[in-house]
């Protein structure tokens, strides 16, 4: 059995999905002094006068949870790029995310939250990847 392939499949699945739980926990800790910060951000999004009506936006917030899926896809791409040793391409992912939310960046509270969440997600992916990579290739495979 090719254990390296098993290892890569494991981290491609583990890092993005575990990040879907760790990143929100870290944001919750950072915003612990703001009561109901998540609901307040959702409310700001619902009151934003862009494209969709309030009910449609509420349906997306509660039904799709697109932010969580975007984070999972973002971390998946980051891990794949790290495996391929294309770390410079990670900047493209962060830039595309910023462009997608460009209009919302006028709202300082949203912009800070968004940037903080993106950076935590990227840092989590990098640290976890290199930690697991080191454990596997330097400790496990060295035995």
pLDDT at 73: 95
- Looking at the chain, list the stretches that DSSP marks H as alpha helix, in order from N- to C-terminal side: 3-30, 37-47, 54-59, 66-83, 90-100, 108-134
Task: Tell whether 143 is covered by a domain.
Answer: no
Place of tokens 């800070």: 112
In a domain, 124, yes or no: yes
pLDDT of residue 43 exceeding 80, the answer is no
Regarding pTM above 0.85, the answer is: no
Residue 142 located in a structural domain:
no
How far apart CA 29 and CA 23 sit, in angstroms, is 10
Residue 116 maps to a domain:
yes
User: Residue 67's pLDDT is what?
Assistant: 80
- pLDDT band of residue 98 (cuts 50, 70, 90) is confident
129 contacts 11 by C-beta, under 8 angstroms: yes
**What residues make up the domain containing 21?**
3-137
Total count of domains within the chain: 1
User: Which band of pLDDT confidence, cut at 50, 70 and 90, is reported for residue 59?
Assistant: confident
Q: What pLDDT was estimated at residue 23?
A: 95
Q: Rounded mean pLDDT of 112-133?
A: 94
With b for 16 or more beta-carbon neighbours within 10 A and e for fewer, the 33-69 pattern comes to eeeebeeebeeebbebeeeeeeeebeeebeeeeebee
């Amino acid at each position: 059995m090719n254990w390296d392939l098993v290892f890569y499949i494991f981290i491609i699945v583990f890092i993005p999905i575990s990040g879907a739980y760790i990143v929100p926990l870290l944001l919750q800790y950072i915003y612990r002094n703001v009561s109901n910060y998540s609901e307040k951000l959702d409310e700001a999004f619902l009151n934003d006068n862009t494209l969709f009506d309030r009910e449609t936006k509420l349906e997306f917030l509660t039904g799709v949870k697109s932010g969580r899926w975007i984070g999972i896809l973002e971390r998946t791409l980051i891990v794949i790029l790290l495996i391929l040793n294309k770390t410079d391409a990670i900047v493209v992912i962060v830039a595309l995310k910023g462009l997608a939310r460009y209009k919302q960046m006028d709202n300082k509270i949203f912009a800070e939250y968004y940037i903080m969440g993106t950076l935590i997600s990227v840092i989590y992916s990098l640290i976890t990847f290199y930690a697991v990579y080191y454990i596997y290739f330097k400790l496990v495979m060295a035995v």
